[in-house]
A and B are shown apart, each in its own frame.
Chain A
């Protein structure tokens, strides 16, 4: 494999991984605080993508490509982030909050129920055909030192980078971020220190869902919008979160990007048929669980009684 080819796969892997990372953040943040897998996360992503698509189409109208279309795209993305955040918070309030003191299994089952309601309602309301999300710019690829790069890939890389930096600063530097970290360490102590845990949880869900909406829209530009788009993407993003160390925000970013790279290289180098591409993520999950269950950046925690 030549150097150009290597960088080609690396670019493709990075863009795919950037999206996984965005979505993985939602899983990992919720897991960090509530210790449960939010199965509905992938479906929030799907609703966010539909919202983004409709708003974008309405704003764009018949306009041809130009600055306005790009602005419309970002406005639609912002609006869909808000809508997804509200949806995420509502789901938490209705379906998870009453179960906080229930058995470990209850919120999981409830989450699966929510996921099923969302994806099937979407199929009912918007039909089962996938809808194309038109590029808001001319997506003609250009060649940079032998590596083919599309403007879409640049969009993905820059948007996911910006989002992750903002999130990292928010969690590490602000008061609310500190409250989030405290809640994830020990909910009861955090409560005793005067932290409004309910608000922190709502915030966590809204941030995670908003990021999922961004990931959904970015992925929809290439793969269209459909009612079950959240299932496989969500599953892989979760694997990315486990890969990096579930509950660890930096871990989710690293895990997402590594998983993206592994997938592209798996198909390119090891000749895994692309029909079985989805299996790679699953293989990674099994290997990680066998070798280092805490994930790359996770710490082994002994449960105390």
Chain B
């Protein structure tokens, strides 16, 4: 039971990284991306291939994983983010499917549906971070989430965070204020993509094997759910959302009701969460984190 709870915590952490990235894109930038699963897959496969074929250590695979995801993000982001409307949503939806398609078909590199096994465990100063015993792995995941959280918190208060908020509220007004809309949108999108890539690397060394079947559209929807449930534009909320959604998705196993609850239960629930939250509580459980500038009684614009 304790072991199981640790597993949920680790997955919460891995997904929290993706949710933080999604939050930058959707919560701050107001863009709908549906492909965290695609970047997640790219990160996982980068780590898996580099460490099994080329003998990279886990740490050395992190920069390529993040860079590769960012590069793919740039490829989708550049054509779609220059435009008004929601082309990004469809382009990313398609991208996720295509990543899975490629992973399934590029046998010489990804070994197709069989996936890649025997990924070496990460080590640090000679200490092996063994995913089976979970404690050390959980610590590593928590450190990753903490670093990402602090970075994103800083980012939200930076020039870029304010530019993104302005774009989200009113693109035309933001443009009139001299903000380069496309530049900041693409930055946010790339950033979200690379964090998902890192999450993918962690996933690869946690399960020690990768198969294309893991990286379905459901993963993207789960991540979206985490952000929506917690509250868009609030990084703490994304982490909370990640935990709640993971708890829900392992609810049948936790309660031992796997035979009673149909396997589609959680997906239907995720769908319901999205609809219900949008109608009754669009700001999410915790609500948007308002950033105050200047002194408390500062004049209102």
Contacts and interface: CB of A to CB of B under 8 A. Distances in A.
Contacts of B9: none
A109 B264 contact: no
Interface stretch (A144-152, A255-263, A280-288): A280-288
Contact of A117 (B26, B224, B271): B271
A286 B91 contact: yes
B273 interface: yes
Interface string B11-31: 000000000000000100010
B172 A279 contact: no
A105 B168 CA distance: 10
B55 interface: no
B289 interface: no
A150 B270 CA distance: 42
Contacts of B32: 105, 108-109
A283 to B, nearest CB: 9
Interface residues of A, number: 49
Nearest to B262: A124
Contact of A105 (B30, B76, B271, B273): B30
Interface stretch (B65-73, B77-85, B143-151, B248-256): B77-85
Contact of B221 (A37, A116, A282, A289): A116
Interface residues of B, number: 46
Contacts of B102: 276
B274 interface: yes
Interface string A294-305: 000000000101
Q: Max chain B CB contacts within 10 Å: which of A109, A246, A305?
A: A109
Interface string B75-110: 010011011111101110111011001101100000
Nearest to A304: B172
Contacts of A231: 97, 217
Q: Max chain B CB contacts within 10 Å: which of A114, A117, A290?
A: A117
Contact of B101 (A106, A108, A278): A278
Contact of A120 (B85, B90, B264): B264
B278 interface: yes
Contacts of A246: 85
A164 interface: no
Contacts of A116: 221, 267-268, 270-271, 274
A178 B263 CA distance: 47
A36 B278 CA distance: 15
A98 interface: yes
A230 to B, nearest CB: 12
A117 B83 contact: no
A67 interface: no
Contacts of B271: 112-118, 120
The binding surface of chain A is classed by DSSP as helix
Contacts of B282: 102-103, 106
A239 B282 CA distance: 29
Contacts of B80: 289
Interface in B100-131: 101-102, 104-105
Interface in B154-191: 172
A273 interface: yes
B245 interface: no
Given A95-B279, A117-B268, 8 more contacts: A37-B89, A94-B275, A110-B275, A110-B279, A114-B275, A289-B83, A289-B87, A289-B91
Interface of B: 26, 30, 32, 34, 76, 79-80, 82-87, 89-91, 93-95, 97-98, 101-102, 104-105, 172, 217, 221, 224, 228, 232, 262-264, 267-268, 270-275, 277-279, 282
Interface of A: 35-37, 39, 94-95, 98-99, 102-110, 112-118, 120-121, 123-124, 231-232, 235, 238-239, 242, 246, 273, 275-276, 278-279, 281-282, 285-286, 289-290, 293, 303, 305
